[in-house]
Structure 1
Amino acid sequence: MPTETGAPPVVGSPIKDFTATVTGDRQISLSELRGKQVVIYFYPKASTPGCTTEGGDFRDNKAHFDAANTVILGVSRDGLKAQQNFKDKQGFNFELVTDKEEAVCQLFDVIKLKKLYGKEHLGIERSTFLIDSAGHLAQEWRKVKVKGHVEEVLAAAQALHRGE
């Protein structure tokens, strides 16, 4: 896992390798996915309405992402049990990353000051990153609105796969 936080990645730059725990209690490294495109999407909390909708949209489009040589990873600060329950209950056909220590979140600079009912707290800003098959950031979406988002990410992944 990254031990230091630097500047957030910029489009065109290589993404620092990281290893994280995913559902199924396995470790996954970004470097082991080299040769495939990777969508990493960050969501605030497992089993909440917006996060369930977004995950369902990725689930329902997974075959299209597969056809574009693209792996999907969902990331939140939830523990492994919460992530596994979320994946199982929603039938997600991709892995969820547990990032309780916020290492992956910090690497992508998605922890932001948020307001809820007038109170400020640090939380995940819904964000998505598309990494090319060589490990470089191809595109990013920050402050994501769920409706229509997955279709936009899919179109970008397909265009990248076609070399556009």
Structure 2
Amino acid sequence: MSLLEINQPVPEFNAISTFGDVTLARCRTRALVIYFYPKDNTPGCTTETQGFKDHHQALMDAGGAVVGVSRDSLKSHENWSAKLELPFPLISDPEEKLCELFGVMKMKNMYGKQVRGIERSTFLIDAQGVLVREWRGVKVPGHVEEVLQAVKNLNNH
């Protein structure tokens, strides 16, 4: 259950990332794309993250910034980020504070067993800190391009 609603302000948060502390207030000069993914260094998450990397400059040019979030440790994030040469931060959320705020924790089937994990989801927050768009249950192919178009539309680029 998400605590957030479209067209409502996102509460301030402070999270540790591969680039140091990330706060919503610090991101207020641009639209912020926050994407939640299940696990570092797995095929789908690597493909999605590589997509955000490949489109990073276009997102920046459109007035957006990107940050990825999972429950992995900061050390795991640092290793994966270095391997992929990511130009944006990955937030470590082992206590699931951001996951709960954005309502991305779900029961999922994994090899026939029910497990609690992150549902691949992306959120777009405008420069005023208002949630303007969400994508839940994301399928990776074409997703980053759709997010880029939403940022362009938001900022009229």
What is the TM-score with the length of structure 1 in the denominator? 0.93
Among 85, 88, 95, the alignment partner of 1:94 is 88
Map of 1:31 onto structure 2: 25
Deviations 1:82-120 (A, max 9, x none): 001111101111100000000000000000011111111
Offset at residue 7 of structure 1 (A): 4.6
Unaligned runs of 5+ in 2: none
SS at match of 2:5: coil
Runs of 4+ in 1 over 6 A off after TM superposition: none
Counterpart of 1:151 in structure 2: which amino acid? E
Offset at residue 49 of structure 1 (A): 0.3
Alpha-carbon separation, structure 2, partners of 1:21 and 1:72: 15
Q: Within the alignment, does 1:76 sit opposite 2:62 as a pair?
A: no
Among 35, 47, 51, the alignment partner of 2:45 is 51
Q: Within the alignment, does 1:116 sit opposite 2:110 as a pair?
A: yes
Offset at residue 8 of structure 1 (A): 2.5
Alpha-carbon separation, structure 2, partners of 1:7 and 1:151: 25
Alpha-carbon separation, structure 2, partners of 1:12 and 1:35: 18
Among 4, 7, 16, the alignment partner of 1:12 is 7
Say if 2:72 and 2:92, in contact at 8 Å, map to a contact too.
yes
Q: Give % identity.
A: 46
Unaligned runs of 5+ in 1: 1-5
Alpha-carbon separation, structure 2, partners of 1:68 and 1:134: 16
What is the TM-score with the length of structure 2 in the denominator? 0.97
Across the aligned residues of Structure 1 and Structure 2, the Cα RMSD in angstroms comes to 1.2
1:106–1:158 CA distance, 2 compared to 1 (3 A): same
Alpha-carbon separation, structure 2, partners of 1:7 and 1:82: 26
